[in-house]
Amino acid sequence: MHNRRGLGLLAAAILVAGCAPRASDETAAVYTGGDILTLAGETPTYVEALAVRDGKIVAAGSQAEARKAAGPGARTVDLKGGVLMPGFIDAHSHLLNYADSLVQGNLNPPPVGGVSSVADIVTELRRLKDSLKAGPGVLLVGQGYDQDFLAEKRHPTAAELDAAFPDNPVILIHTSGHMLVANSAAIRKAGVTAATADPVGGAIIRKAGSREPEGLFQETAMHPFIPQVQAPRPREQDLDLIKRTVEHYAANGYTTAAEGLVMPDKMPLLQEAADKGLLKIDVEALPAYLMADQLVGTGKLAWGEFKNGLKWAGIKLATDGSPQGKTAYLTQPYLTPVPGCKTDCRGFPNIPQDEMNRLFALAYKNGVQVYSHSNGDASVDMMIAAHRQAEKALGTVDPNRRTVIIHSQIMRPDQMASYKALGMLPSFFTNHVYYWGDIHLANLGPQRAAYLSPLASAFKAGVPATNHTDAIVTPVDPMFLVWTAVNRVTRSGKVLGPDERVTPYQALKAITLNGAYTYFEEASKGSLEVGKTADLVILDRNPLKVEPNAIRDITVVETVKSGRSVYRAPKG
């Protein structure tokens, strides 16, 4: 009798609690007063209102439905004629490199920077030296130089940097991130001499008629310089740089950001930033393949799980270089001269096929998602071969591994068919069309250049492709990315690959729902549907309702992560 009475009291308490007013929810809101684009489905769908509660979407439909679902006391957010859509999902960028760039010299050409000559590089580095109050021996790092947009039409040399900075090591990081130029002090500090052999997957460019390094180091030949570039800074400074970087991504409408290649020394830093609550948007992080044997199948990482905004999403390979740097691995040669190469200049792989096969099998066996940087079609062939070999070795065929081929730029139509058949996912880089499209026309010829980042072909084939900025290679600007996908216009005004232009809706799908699918998060992100996380962005205009050329001028009004505002544009 006593027990039954106790159960009755408990039931009564539950009933009373159920009837009591619910605790105040800061995220409870009804969005209305503008276009609400859900991004659910193959064609544009709009709803009148969206309701958010407890960080989730609880209604997407009529005003009445939204207000009832949001509950009493929910605030009303007036879109003021703007457009509400899912928060942007970054398929690939380098968040930590962006943080580093905040204390490096900006050597980008216009419109990103102001460097147009070797003399401009020297001027920018002198400005950096003054701002850092850098005395003798202090390293100076500049990032973003591009030889194709320098007046000299070549890479700087160690001798030129020595003349300007005789007392400081200097390292210039190429815009692609796949090569660098160092002066003599930095070369000595890296331990590189005329006797140093070219590493597998890399090249040291030598002075004419000599074995002496000229200053340019490509691909894996950059590795001896990493300790200098990534020398420890005060921890609080590093954490502050990450905090500022995350704020920048949020200001551009991203609710999910990417760190596409985490090196060993950066993993604890990124984890600390998460543990200290500095990641106010989600970050998908990919440890470098160099750590695969230490991390995959060892129980050291909880793969695929968010904790404090950080997820170790998969392992990252890097199979070739950059097309504008002419180190991307191709089946047919480049059409213009390649530094350090005399005949059959097709770039080169960074990882031997046997090692790639082993890494694929290791990851697949342990259920870890594989991501690989692959720009050239020969590199893509290696990816497809490694996938098939790994499945054969394991005796399992799984069409839902979602292996991601980052960039997939200079690929072939037959490879798109393989992507579809094998469940492999390309992440394209349509910003290349604008920034380097004219260069690709010269380097590759019109046929290969026209099929650069073939986003339209992916949609036609039913392949859920994504699109990315690869920041810091190009700016963190999703509207510019959408603009390049829709227009495919080069710097000189040419339309490169008109058949690969996509609709604005498709371009938005590539950075929302398709991005969520890539990360196995389509059930919780990427569209405005009931039950999904309230990751939202408000834009001042609807990309589907402006002239295609005006898309790049659209601005972010507000970014909302899990129902909470993480960015509001300054008034005016």
Contacts of 244 (CB under 8 A, 6+ apart): 99, 102
Model confidence band, residue 340 (pLDDT cutoffs 50, 70, 90): confident
Asked if the model's pLDDT at residue 138 lies above 50, the reply is yes
Does residue 240 share a domain with residue 205?
Answer: no
Does residue 284 share a domain with residue 172?
Answer: no
Q: What is the CATH number of the domain that holds 163?
A: 3.10.310.70
CA angle (506 as vertex; 500, 507 as ends), nearest 5: 75
pLDDT tens for 231-269 read: 888 999 999 999 999 999 999 999 999 999 999 989 999
Model confidence band, residue 9 (pLDDT cutoffs 50, 70, 90): very low
10 belongs to a structural domain: no
- Whether 403 and 385 have beta carbons less than 8 Å apart is answered as no
pLDDT tens for 461-478 read: 999 999 999 999 999 999
Does residue 414 share a domain with residue 486?
Answer: yes
Question: Which one of 229, 250, 283 terminates a domain?
Answer: 229
Instruction: Give the pLDDT confidence score for residue 14 in this predicted structure.
Output: 31
For 114, the domain range is: 104-229
Instruction: Give the pLDDT confidence score for residue 177 in this predicted structure.
Output: 86
Does residue 382 share a domain with residue 500?
Answer: yes
Does residue 451 share a domain with residue 377?
Answer: yes
Question: Which one of 181, 201, 229 terminates a domain?
Answer: 229
Does residue 313 share a domain with residue 208?
Answer: no
pLDDT tens for 40-53 read: 999 999 999 999 99
pTM of the predicted protein model: 0.89
98 belongs to a structural domain: no
Does residue 404 share a domain with residue 312?
Answer: yes
Handedness of CA 39, 44, 47, 49 (dihedral sign): positive
Q: What is the CATH number of the domain that holds 531?
A: 2.30.40.10
8 belongs to a structural domain: no
Instruction: Give the pLDDT confidence score for residue 24 in this predicted structure.
Output: 57
Beta strands (DSSP E) in 19-123 are: 29-32, 35-36, 49-53, 56-61, 75-78, 83-86, 88-89, 105-106
Does residue 203 share a domain with residue 154?
Answer: yes
Number of structural domains found in the chain? 3
Q: Tell me what the pLDDT averaged over the chain comes to.
A: 93
Does residue 405 share a domain with residue 304?
Answer: yes
Overall residue count recorded for the chain in this entry: 572
92 belongs to a structural domain: no
436 belongs to a structural domain: yes
Asked if the model's pLDDT at residue 361 lies above 60, the reply is yes
Asked if the model's pLDDT at residue 225 lies above 60, the reply is yes
- The identity of residue 262, as a single letter, is V
pLDDT tens for 503-522 read: 999 999 999 999 999 999 99
Does residue 140 share a domain with residue 126?
Answer: yes
Does residue 210 share a domain with residue 63?
Answer: no
1 belongs to a structural domain: no
76 belongs to a structural domain: yes
56 belongs to a structural domain: yes
Asked if the model's pLDDT at residue 287 lies above 70, the reply is yes
Mean pLDDT of 529-540: 98
Closest CA to 324 of 83, 118, 148: 148
Does residue 268 share a domain with residue 203?
Answer: no
